[in-house]
Amino acid sequence: MRIFPFFSRPRTFLGSLCLFALLFGCVAETTPEPPERVTERLIALLDNSQPDVRRTAALSLGKLSNPQSISALVSSLSDPDEEVRQWSAWALGNIADSLTQEALIALVQHITDPSDSVRQAVVLALRQTTISEEVMQVFAEAYSISTPATQLTIIQVLAQFEFPFAYSLFIQALKSPDPLIRQTAIAGLGELGDSRGLLVMRTHLLQDSNVGVRSEAAFRLGKLGGPADIPALRQARETDPTPDVHFWATWSLAQIGEEA
């Protein structure tokens, strides 16, 4: 399936210098402070007036991965600066095993962030959690009233998990005019492994107008399909005008075991 683009790196050089000065002064201390004390200082810097300092504080808290910082990082998900929100989400992903239910819900709620880089950071963070199906069902409720960009992110998130309720949402997403949403929905069906999705994949392999969607369908049929899918894959191999679809249809036929 499509690889999610990694979010942009922050402009941390100035922030790092400021953070170093604020934490340690002009001369490094001879005895390192305990992680708990450093975490406390970094949490305080999340309220600094300079965005570069707040960005670097969130990044540093993510590297420390101290559960002590969870509450502050959740608050920073609402920071006016896009990169602070982005790195706060990333940091929470690094503390995924310690997140409370309240923190998980807060992370889910920020899937509607107006920034694409923040939404992608939330996706990456959620992939590292053991979030419950009950919490994830919020996505199904939000999908129909969301913008196309948020709809894509919702489908991307659900494609990382194997929750049965997602099947109907993937089917709904395949009606989207956005080809990337449709391709991600096909990938989600593939990850879900529900046999009902095979007919849907065959249909989009032969009828979808987008080469990315057809290629994804061909690939997923090779991973999940069987003899019943061979006719559609043969047709795609012989009639599809694009090399990508021809390649994946050929690969899938070999995976299923078609004799040359």
Is residue 78 within 8 A of residue 90, CB to CB? The reply is: no
Considering the domain boundaries, does residue 36 fall inside one? Answer: yes
For residue range 205-214, list pLDDT tens digits in order.
999 999 999 9
Please report the pLDDT score of residue 13 as a whole number: 46
User: pTM score, two decimals?
Assistant: 0.68
Distance separating alpha carbons of residues 69 and 73, to the nearest angstrom: 6
Residue 113 included in any domain: yes
What sections of 34-69 are H helices per DSSP? 35-45, 51-64
Task: Give the per-residue pLDDT at 111.
Answer: 83
- Cβ atoms < 10 Å from Cβ of 229: 23
Distance CA 103, CA 97 (A): 11
Region 118-136: mean pLDDT is: 85
- The arithmetic mean of pLDDT across residues 117-133, rounded, is 86
- Pick from 99-103, 183-187, 214-218: least confident: 99-103
Check whether 4 has a pLDDT greater than 60.
no
Total domains in the chain come to 1
Could you tell me the pLDDT band of residue 31, with boundaries at 50, 70 and 90? low
Residue at 94 is within a domain: yes
Q: Assess if residue 57 is contained within a domain.
A: yes
Within a domain: 167:
no
Per the domain annotation, does 153 fall within a domain? no
Residue 172 or 160, more confident: 172
Among 92-106, 157-171, 224-238, the range with the most confident prediction by mean pLDDT is 224-238
CATH number of the domain that 101 lies in?
Answer: 1.25.10.10
**Would residue 49 count as lying in a domain?**
yes
Q: Which of 131-145, 210-224, 246-260 has the lowest mean pLDDT?
A: 131-145
Q: How much is the pLDDT for 94? A: 94
Pair 77, 102: CB distance under 8 Å: no
Q: In this structure, are residues 154 and 139 in contact, taking their beta carbons and an 8 Å threshold? A: yes
Residue 125 within any structural domain of the chain: yes
Phi, psi of 208 (to 5 degrees): -70, 145
Task: Residue 23: give the domain boundaries.
Answer: 12-131
